[in-house]
């Protein structure tokens, strides 16, 4: 039985994982290979060199189950890791539920989210490769601020293309990036062909992550190798770096003498949820456990619940490799009224495969309901969460209330991926009643399908 006293479970920094866990060799089926955007054939490692250093390319394709975390990366991570695990006893009481609720809190990092777990690693490997500048995109700004901080730590210049609607809604994230020395642009810009093309079609284009990615990738590709590109979610090596979250949580749940029946995370590109669940997926498959895994996403950008499982570009223009993933279409533009984050058009290939196999469930939520959940959580637990994380809290509350209705114990673990101290304008809109609930129409998905690249998967070599 879990103890009845503690609400916080901590690890000593010596207990921080010394290796990342790579789920690729343990997936139920091989992950479909990324394809070259021009030839539509499986991509070779050297094809990725214009945008990534070789160390990260090797991690992207590695078949090794465990990859050692370099000493300089661990040294930085121990500034805030291991992060705490909390038992949400006050929330349990407020809900009058027999469920036991735990959350892994990633908001303790200097920039307030889980994103530095991979930002530090990516900048380190670029620095080791002699790279002096990295381009990237960011939506709400959590990724951009994380990469900017890591760039400051390792002396690497960072250029950020920030989705315009977030650039305007979240000015303090922009200020944070600039404080760390990064250059920040509101995307789409007139600095790239991708940006100029988007603005020519719509001068008031609010931007999207896919479009910001196109701009950042273009900067890297046209640099002749002097600038590399960095991505904060979706790719295999990003999810790999985030597994420190789940590995720590496994040890902390053992300290609590408890184990989750369901593990929940918000899902945009997939990195924060994957970081928590991947080690638990390993345990569930190895020990034949019936653990459930639930992805919480917005109805305004429901890639898993309304998207299609297909090869698609990771960016709007079509410069990135094609990946097999759940997608709303690479030219997806999220509605400007959406304040809850999680705006990416696709889902990480690893997460998409786990969803396709029925290992990961998905549920979408309206933005008013997620802010309602966030406010309740703040009143009980004292943490004002990021709107992205609020999707997970909404799912947790619903699961806890279902446990109450069923009169059954249920152990719930979720990733509180970041705090919302720079998101208060979105909270203001909620309090003013200015947020609109929006369902991404299925007709738009069907229309986007007509513009998905045509891939003859049967013609790919076996194992590709």
Q: What is the chain's length? A: 464
Is residue 257 classed exposed, middle or buried when 0-12, 13-18 and 19+ CB atoms within 10 A define those classes? exposed
Please name which of 10, 20, 59 lies closest in space to residue 244, comparing C-alpha atoms.
20
Residue pLDDT, tens place only, 316-325: 888 888 999 9
In contact, 335 and 268? CB cutoff 8 Å:
no
Mean pLDDT, rounded, of the chain: 93
Model confidence at 458: pLDDT above 90 = no
* pLDDT of 340: 65
Neighbours of 286 (CB within 10 A): 9
Residue pLDDT, tens place only, 26-35: 999 999 999 9
* pLDDT of 447: 87
Residue pLDDT, tens place only, 230-278: 999 999 999 999 999 999 999 999 999 999 999 999 999 999 999 999 9
Neighbours of 454 (CB within 10 A): 7
Cα(295)–Cα(273) distance, rounded to whole angstroms?
7
Its CATH class, for the domain covering 8-16+80-112+242-452, is: alpha beta
Model confidence at 347: pLDDT above 50 = yes
Q: Do β-strands 66-68 and 19-21 pair in parallel, antiparallel, or remain unpaired?
A: antiparallel
Model confidence at 5: pLDDT above 70 = no
Per-residue pLDDT band at 227 (split at 50, 70, 90): very high
**What CA–CA distances, in Å, run from 371 to 93, 106, 367?**
20, 19, 6
Measured in whole angstroms, the distance separating CA 240 from the mean position of its chain's CA atoms is 12
How many percent of the chain have pLDDT more than 70?
A: 96
Sign of the torsion angle spanned by Cα atoms 338, 344, 346, 352: negative
Helices (H), 190-287: 193-201, 209-221, 236-255, 271-287
Query: What single string gives the DSSP state of each residue in 332-387?
Result: ----TT--S----SB--HHHHHHHHTTSEEEEEE-HHHHHHHHHHHHHHH---B-H
Question: Where does 46-67+115-229 sit in CATH, by number?
Answer: 3.40.50.1100
Sign of the torsion angle spanned by Cα atoms 157, 416, 384, 302: positive
> SS3 of 221, please?
helix
CATH code 3.40.50.1100 region(s) in the chain = 8-16+80-112+242-452, 46-67+115-229
What does the pLDDT average to over 438-456? 85
Cα(290)–Cα(312) distance, rounded to whole angstroms?
32
Per-residue pLDDT band at 463 (split at 50, 70, 90): very low
Buried b / exposed e across 230-254, counting CB within 10 Å, b at 16+? bbbbbbbbbbbbbbbbbbbbbbbbe
In contact, 68 and 19? CB cutoff 8 Å:
yes
Per-residue pLDDT band at 208 (split at 50, 70, 90): confident
Query: What single string gives the DSSP state of each residue in 23-91?
Result: -GGGSSSPPPPPB-TTT-SBPPGGGGTTTS-HHHHHHHH---SEEEPPHHHHHHHTTTPSPPEEE-HHH
Query: What single string gives the DSSP state of each residue in 139-152?
Result: SSSHHHHHHHHHHH
Cα dihedral: 36, 240, 186, 151 (round 10): -110
Please state the pTM of the whole predicted model: 0.94
* pLDDT of 462: 47
Three-state secondary structure readout of 397-443:
HHHHHHHHHHCCCCEEEEEECEECCCCHHHHHHHHCCCCCCCCCCHH
Largest Cα separation within the chain, whole Å, is 62
In contact, 141 and 173? CB cutoff 8 Å:
yes
């Amino acid at each position: 039985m879990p103890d009845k006293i503690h609400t916080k479970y901590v690890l000593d920094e010596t207990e921080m994982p010394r290796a990342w866990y790579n789920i690729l060799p343990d997936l139920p089926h091989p992950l479909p290979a990324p394809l070259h955007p021009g030839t539509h054939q499986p991509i070779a490692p050297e094809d990725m060199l214009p945008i990534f250093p070789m160390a990260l390319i090797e991690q992207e394709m590695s078949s090794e189950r465990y990859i050692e975390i370099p000493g300089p990366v661990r040294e930085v991570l121990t500034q805030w890791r291991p992060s705490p695990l909390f038992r949400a006893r006050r929330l349990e009481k407020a809900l009058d539920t027999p469920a036991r609720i735990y959350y892994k809190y990633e908001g303790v990092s200097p920039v307030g989210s889980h994103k530095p777990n991979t930002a530090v690693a990516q900048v380190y490997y670029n620095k080791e490769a002699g790279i002096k500048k990295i381009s990237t995109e960011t939506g709400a700004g959590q990724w951009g601020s994380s990469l900017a901080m890591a760039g400051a730590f390792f002396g690497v210049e960072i250029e950020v293309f920030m989705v315009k609607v977030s650039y305007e809604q979240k000015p303090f994230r922009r200020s944070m990036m600039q404080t760390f020395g990064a250059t920040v642009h509101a995307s789409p810009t007139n600095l790239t062909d991708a940006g100029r093309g988007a603005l020519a079609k719509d001068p008031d284009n609010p931007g999207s992550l896919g479009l910001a990615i196109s701009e950042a990738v273009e900067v890297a590709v046209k640099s002749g190798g002097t600038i590399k590109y960095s991505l904060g979610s979706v790719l295999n090596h990003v999810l790999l770096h985030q597994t420190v979250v789940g590995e720590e949580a496994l040890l902390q749940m053992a300290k609590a003498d408890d184990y989750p029946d369901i593990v929940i995370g918000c899902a945009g590109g997939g990195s924060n949820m994957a970081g928590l669940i991947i080690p638990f997926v390993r345990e569930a498959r190895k020990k034949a456990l019936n653990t459930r895994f639930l992805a919480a996403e917005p109805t305004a950008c429901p890639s898993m619940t309304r998207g299609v499982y297909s090869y698609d570009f990771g960016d709007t223009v079509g410069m990135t490799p094609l990946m097999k993933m759940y997608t709303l279409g690479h030219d997806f533009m999220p509605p400007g009224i959406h304040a809850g984050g999680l705006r990416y058009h696709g889902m990480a290939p690893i997460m998409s495969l786990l969803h396709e196999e029925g290992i990961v469930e998905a549920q979408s939520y309206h933005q008013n309901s997620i802010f309602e959940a966030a406010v309740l959580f703040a009143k009980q637990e004292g943490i004002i969460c990021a709107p992205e994380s609020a999707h997970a809290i909404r799912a947790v509350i619903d699961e806890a209330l279902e446990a109450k209705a069923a009169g059954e114990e249920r152990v719930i673990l979720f990733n509180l991926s970041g705090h919302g101290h720079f998101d208060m304008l979105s909270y203001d809109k909620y309090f003013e009643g200015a947020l609109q609930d929006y369902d991404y129409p299925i007709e738009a998905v069907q229309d986007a399908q007509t513009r998905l690249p045509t891939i003859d998967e049967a013609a790919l070599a076996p194992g590709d």
